[in-house]
Structure 1
Amino acid sequence: MLPSWVPGLAAAVVFLHVLQKLAFPYFWADLWYLLKVVRYGIRLKMYEQRGELFTVLDRFLSLANKQPQKPFIIYEGDVHTYQDVDKRSNRVARVFLNHSALKRGDTVALLMSNEPDFVHVWFGLAKLGCVVAFLNSNIRSTSLLHCIRSCEPKAVVVGADLLGTVEEILPSLPEGITVWGMNDSVPQGVTSLKEKLSMASDKPVPRSHHVASSLKSPHLYIFTSGTTGLPKAAVISQLQALKGSAGLWAFGCTANDIIYITLPLYHSSGALLGIGGCVELGATCVLKKKFSASQFWNDCRKYNVTVFQYIGELCRYLCKQPKREGEKDHQVRLAVGNGVRSDVWREFLDRFGNIKMCELYGATEGNICFMNHTGKIGSIGRTNFFYKLLFTFDLIKYDFQKDEPIRNEQGWCIHVRKGEPGLLISRVNEKNPFFGYAGSKKHTEKKLLCDVFKKGDVYFNTGDLMVQDEENFLYFWDRIGDTFRWKGENVATTEVADVIGMLDFIQETNVYGVAVSDYEGKAGMASIILKQNKSLDLEKVYEQVVTFLPAYACPRFLRIQEKMETTGTFKLQKFQLVEEGFSPLKISDPLYFMDNLKKSYVPLTKELYNQIMLGEIKL
């Protein structure tokens, strides 16, 4: 016979279980996630205390030794094992060691599309202790020159398909920069890296070339448009690279997973979370040169993909594809990324099966991240008491008209209530540092808020507005400042305005993003004032933007105004313009739409507007 206390204990356990489910429904999910974060932090601390600064590259070298024949990268059907990538990157290191003046700590810019050699060059240069600057393969002309100048590289490595882009700016490159092309035939003034690789040794270079002196030392520069101005080179330390590489592991990926990467490697998502994540796991990645909605699921089936990376646009494009038989016939179990809308999220799951969507949030240069470990639709993550101990962040009130945080009579920032949108800021301290940008210190200082809640405190300004609900789930609400997101890319409005302003008939340009039904992010719109006695040349505006801007940054709409409103500090007023959008039903100013077939901007009529809103015309 059972002791008399057993039924009472059983009843108490059941009661506590029910209470936990009702009062703390996410307790175990939160605890699991917290333990993972703590476990990873302890691991890094142990390496540090033992004097072993173990970097992403060190992890890769360890795997190349332990599992040399395991596929690391599958690209267009070709398999590159861990040993293959190790040896090819050794060749890269040997070429620069023997044929250049590069030394430890020097910066090398990399302009390359998604391909295995992107990783070979990255790892090869890292083996020499160089800092690699990833250049956006879409930019050209003055924007590309700006990026190269801002990171001050000693060399630029260019993919075969992008040599023409660099040839245009060769005469304008700063003195002392050598250019290496990944092709046998290269323009004058460019050295063929491919030719030298064929003759180079694949023997390892001594570890002394790359051993890290500190986890805070720079590993990469990844360009981000930030909140104002031209692209800036965000400093990615060895520590940030390690943290980024732990993302897939934190969501439950393992060494047995096959990860599909279609996002560009010049972004932190593709490089750190994707390639770095595969290295952390010891997994295999299927690398795609460019995302293709029509080939996506065929690739997943062909390569037995179990995990893929996404941005919101990618999921929306997949949902827009014509329905086919057997769309749930695949092995994908996880999708990791950011920016998917709730309606697209639901449609995606309904159509393509039981895939766990692992939404996350994190700025390239930021010191804060969130991970939606519960799968709550629409949320970027969740906070709790324990998370706040590890990462100090707050949501504060923001004045959209003045474009600055609201402060009280004492000069302190004001917390928002739950359910109210607020600017996300994150405390900068020893535990969560902000490494800033290469070049001018003013760019770094602009991203910091000082004396926020007390004298002397410093916070990183994410530039993003968030909402926290009653259950402590966080939701992305909007962006502030002079940046908006379109086609999965950040568009710096001042860069676009500068390009349009080069035209001799333009007096002033104000660029902003406008919401379009069924599209992620915001489409570009430029409000223009013409010079006196000058007429608008729509074909010239079209030619100017497509020549000097990447496709995603070209304004889809133009608005011609007679004058522009400014703020008290003489900044161009965008708030009202954004609110008014691009509707000819609301706006009396002349409006124009970008027509790629006619290679010009054309009048935005009510009929054209209706076709755009109904999805009959694609942007």
Structure 2
Amino acid sequence: MSVCAVAVATGVAVLSLHVLHRLFFPFFLKDLLFLLKVLRYGAQLELSGVTRTVRTVLQRFIQQAQRVPDKPFIIYDGRVHTYRDVDARSNKLAHVFRDSVGLRRGACVALLMSNEPDFVCAWLGLSKAGCSVAFLNINIRTKGLLHCFHCCGASTIVIGADMVECLEPILSSLLEDDIQVWVMKAHSDHPQVHTLLDKLESASDQPVPAALHATSSLRAPTLYIFTSGTTGLPKAAVITHLQSLKAAAGFWAFGAKSDDVVYIPLPLYHSAASLIGVGGTIHLGATCVLKKKFSASQFWQDCRTHNVTIFQYIGELCRYLCNQPQTDMEKVHKVRMGVGNGLRQDVWREFLSRFGNIKMCEVYGSTEGNLCFMNHIGKIGAVGRSNFFYRLLFKYDLVKFDMVMDDLVKDQRGFCQHVETGHTGLLLSKVSSTSPFFGYVGSKHLTERKILRNVLVKGDAYFNTGDLMVEDHQGFIYFRDRVGDTFRWKGENVATTEVSEALGLVDFIQEVNVYGVEVPDHEGRAGMAAITLRPGFTFDGRKLFHHAVRELPAYARPLFIRLQEEMEITSTFKQQKFQLVQSGFNPSTISDPLYVVDNDQRSYVPLTADKYSTIICGNHKL
């Protein structure tokens, strides 16, 4: 065969392979490189636990403070806090926690603070003192807040200066239980609320003994982060060093570098901002811009001022940005990447069209879950990516689920059934030694409720995500809906049982069935409650409004009320939610009386056709 013929044959073969690759395996190389990168990191973590003292996020921070002491770590409200600054202040706090507060290694401390540098300093300071830390949701009030505090077993609570008022309704209960209350202030109006800032002045900024925070196990708990669950009040998810380290590598896995500037507008009491945001900044040795609250009008100016390159988001945040008036400066910035979850396809496309070629990296996973999907390709609408290699290493299944019966579909042997590719199924993640589920602190019962057993074969165990998902023929994962007793609104998980229990305390309510309904141009589902009235009572919208404000965080308060003669139930005597969800809140198609929250009137008022139209058109703020 001539040289020319060989060259032609080789060219045809290469071209054929290229065509086959493009047609059938278009993401093979990207998948392989991404997976190898992540697996190498995971192997290093596991190896460190075997060969030497485990390296934690805290130790990584101490290392960065020694390596780049003068580099900005946190930029907040125009002020720069270097790695050296935060290291020194957290050292001072560690000494105060030990010497003045009397904390010892192994203690659990609850942290109730809004976004500010001292949240991070207190977190690191407590960790340096050898304590585990429970992050409390600052939106939770009274009964819920007291429950969160007690279930994590904390003996001390540290609160921000702006949180004192929130704590007042339960302060006497805490003091009766001999709980120490410490506030980030120099002076206190309450003799039994102790102050921290005045004690920092004389505290040493030298490191506490490393033995206090050393650990020999990746699986040792370091944090407790609360998640709304199906059983009512929030549950404290156990966060181990292993989970913290994996989350901290998220930005790095997507290609972030040490010279990146990360914008964190999400609340630090959630794992996204604390573990991925702050933890990821520490992992890289990068800089983060911390915001007390997200502001759509200030966002792009902040990004330009601080040369932000990466920002964290939830879907609502991007929608708020798209709803801002267009300007000539929209594409004048250095942002190249967004990392978050819950971004709808339509908002995703509009966001890229308006603000430029920004790589949006969706991450799927729950705080306590043992499975994570990452959309490293950037496929619009997908929450994650799977492939042949991923399935070998991380065992998950999509199984059939009956939305009407609110139950799994099983075969004659009592096992679950796989869904076909492209069909919706309930996502389950296998629990094993390599994919452990650490559960919730203080409740084996709640932990066990999240585990399904004998799913596909006798003796297996799966973590129930509660999410209906679809996997397409290319391996992209798409979120479809929540099942059971939770839904998502305003970036928060709402537990319908918790809301039902709170509303059930109102004197005129007989029964409550809480569920989420879709509202056009809004992410997640808005809370709606179907209620029946006690005999002899009438509906009082004003009383219900004030009760909801007092007992529930803003995101959990029902926006719509539906009065029913009797509560519908399934054949298995569960409350019927599916039909209610499907019927929505349109007064022209629902004969039952409907009400909508009116914050101006501080009441639930009749939902008329006109009011419905203003909601659908986006003129009524929800």
Q: Distance in 2 between matches of 1:45 and 1:8?
A: 47
Cα distance in 2, alignment partners of residues 476 and 69 from structure 1: 43
CA distance in 1, matches of 2:284, 2:402: 44
| Structure 1 partner of 2:182 | 180
Give distance in 2, aligned partners of 1:221 and 1:403. 30
Gaps of 5+ in 1: none
C-alpha contact 1:367 1:434 (8 A) present in aligned 2: yes
Residue pair 1:227, 1:463 contacting (<8 A) in 2 also: no
- After the TM superposition, which residues 502-541 of structure 1 pair with which residues of structure 2 at under 5 Å, given as runs? 502-541=505-544
The one of 340, 343, 351 equivalent to 2:343 is: 340
SS at match of 1:373: coil
* The 10-residue stretch of structure 1 (216-225 or 559-568) with the greater mean CA deviation from structure 2: 559-568
Q: Tell me the distance in 1 between the aligned counterparts of 2:526 and 2:260.
A: 36
State the Cα distance separating 1:177 from its structure 2 match: 1.4
- Asked if 1:91 is matched to 2:92, the reply is yes
Deviation at 1:437, TM superposition (A): 0.2
Contact 2:219 / 2:241 at 8 angstroms: preserved in 1? yes
Post-superposition offset of 1:43: 1.5
Separation (CA, whole Å) in 1 of partners of 2:393 and 2:247: 16
CA contact (8 A) 1:264 1:270 kept: yes
Is the 1:102–1:154 Cα contact (8 Å) retained in structure 2? no
Cα distance per residue 1:458-497 (max 9 Å; x no partner): 0000000101111111100000111111111111111111
Pick from 439, 444, 450: which aligns with 2:442? Answer: 439
Letter in 2 for 1:434: F
The SS at the match of 1:53 is coil
The one-letter amino acid of 2:556's match is: A
In structure 1, what is the Cα distance between the partners aligned to 2:573 and 2:90? 51
Percent identity between matched residues is 59
Paired amino acid for 1:270: A
Give SS of 1:153's match.
Answer: coil
Q: Aligned residue for 1:53?
A: 54
Q: Write out per-residue CA displacement over residues 263-297 of structure 1, whole angstroms, 9 at most, x where no aligned residue.
A: 00000100011000001111100000000000000
Question: Which amino acid in structure 1 is aligned with residue 587 of structure 2?
Answer: P
> CA-atom RMSD, angstroms?
1.3
1:4 Cα shift?
6.9
CA deviation vs aligned residue, 1:365-406 (integer Å, no higher than 9, x gap): 000000001111000112111001111000001122332211
Which residues in structure 2 correspond to 1:382-531 (within 5 Å)? 382-531=385-534
User: What is the correspondence of 1:177-216 to structure 2 with a 5 Å cutoff?
Assistant: 177-186=179-188, 187-216=190-219
SS in 1 for 2:121: helix
**How far, CA to CA, are the matches of 1:590 and 1:415 in structure 2?**
41
> Runs in 1 of length 4+ with deviation above 3 angstroms?
1-11
Q: Is the Cα contact below 8 Å between 2:528 and 2:558 reproduced in 1?
A: yes
How many Å apart are 1:6 and its aligned residue?
4.8
Partner of 2:111: 110
Of the structure 1 ranges 340-349 and 377-386, higher mean CA displacement relative to structure 2 is found in: 377-386
**In structure 2, C-alpha distance between the alignment counterparts of 1:260 and 1:40, rounded to whole Å:** 24
Partner of 1:256: 259
What secondary structure sits across from 1:567 in the alignment? Answer: coil
Q: Is the 8 A contact 2:53 2:216 kept in 1?
A: no
Name the structure 1 match of 2:154.
153
1:35 is matched by which residue type in structure 2?
L
Kindly provide the amino acid, as one letter, of the partner of residue 121 in structure 2: H
The one of 211, 236, 239 equivalent to 1:236 is 239
SS in 2 for 1:214: coil
Aligned to 1:508, the other structure's residue is in SS state: strand
- State whether residues 228 and 481 of structure 1, in contact with CA within 8 Å, keep that contact through their aligned partners in structure 2: no
What is the CA–CA distance in structure 2 between the aligned matches of 1:587 and 1:11, rounded to whole Å?
65
- 1:12 and 1:496 mapped to 2: Cα distance? 63
1:131 is matched with 132
In 2, distance between residues paired with 1:46 and 1:438? Answer: 27
Of stretches 196-205 and 241-250 in structure 1, the one that deviates more from structure 2 is 196-205
Separation in 2 of the partners of 1:102 and 1:219? 15
Residue in structure 1 matched with residue 304 of structure 2 by the alignment: 301
Tell me the secondary structure at the aligned position of residue 80 of structure 2: strand
Distance 2:8 2:58 in 1: 56
Structure 1 residue 12: Cα displacement: 2.5
Distance, in Å, in 1 between the alignment partners of 2:208 and 2:506 is 51
Contact 1:259 1:285 in 2 (8 A): yes
**1:28 counterpart residue number:** 29
Q: 1:503: how far off? A: 1.3
User: Are the equivalent residues in 2 in contact too, given 1:278–1:285 (CA < 8 A)?
Assistant: yes
User: What is the CA-CA distance between 1:158 and the residue it aligns to?
Assistant: 0.3
CA distance in 1, matches of 2:445, 2:103: 28
Alpha-carbon distance between aligned partners in 2 of 1:482 and 1:108, rounded to the nearest angstrom: 30
1:532, distance to aligned residue in structure 2 (A) = 0.7
Q: What SS is found at the alignment partner of 2:494?
A: strand
Report the 3-state secondary structure (helix = DSSP H, G, I; strand = E; otherwise coil) of the residue aligned with 1:386: helix
2: CA distance, partners of 1:131 / 1:3: 71
Question: What are the superposed Cα offsets for residues 101-159 of structure 1, whole Å, 9 maximum, x if unpaired?
Answer: 32222110000000000000000111122110000011111110111111110100000
Q: Indicate conservation of the 8 Å contact 2:49/2:217, yes or no.
A: no
Aligned-pair CA distance for 1:205: 0.4
Report the TM-score when normalising by structure 1: 0.98
How many Å apart are 1:520 and its aligned residue?
0.3
Cα offset for 1:13?
2.5
Within 1, Cα distance between the matches of 2:248 and 2:617? 41
Amino acid at match of 2:48: Y
Question: Residues 331-374 of structure 1: CA distance to partner in whole angstroms, max 9, x if unpaired?
Answer: 00000000000000000000000000101101100000000011
Q: What is the CA–CA distance in structure 2 between the aligned matches of 1:228 and 1:324, rounded to whole Å?
A: 46
- CA drift at 1:325: 1.5
Give 5+ residue unaligned stretches, structure 2.
none
Instruction: Indicate the residue corresponding to 1:618 in structure 2.
Output: 621
Query: Structure 2: how far apart are the matches of 1:52 and 1:15?
Result: 51
8 Å CA contact 1:61, 1:86 repeated in 2:
yes
Paired with 2:185 and 2:515, the residues of 1 have a C-alpha distance of: 39
| SS of equivalent to 1:191 | strand
The whole-number CA distance in structure 2 between the counterparts of 1:410 and 1:392 is 22
Cα distance per residue 1:7-59 (max 9 Å; x no partner): 54344333322221122111111111111111111221332232230111111
CA offsets per residue over residues 300-357 of structure 1, 9 Å max, x none? 0000000000000000000011111220000000000000000000000000000001
Distance in 2, Cα, partners of 1:429 & 1:45: 15
Give the secondary-structure state (helix, strand or coil) at the position aligned to 2:201.
helix
Partner of residue 543, structure 1: 546
Residue 567 of structure 1 and its aligned partner are, at CA, apart by 2.9
Instruction: Determine if contact 1:228/1:483 at 8 Å carries over to the other structure.
Output: no
Q: How does 1:7-86 map to 2 (within 5 A)?
A: 7-86=8-87
Distance in 2 (alpha carbons) for counterparts of 1:579 and 1:322? 34
1:563 counterpart letter in structure 2 = E
Aligned to 2:581: 578
* 8 Å contact kept, 2:230–2:496: no
Q: CA deviation at 1:549?
A: 1.2
Is the partner of 2:521 in helix, strand or coil?
Answer: coil
The number of equivalent residue pairs is: 619
User: Is contact 2:362-2:383 (8 Å) kept?
Assistant: yes
2:212 aligned partner, one-letter code? H
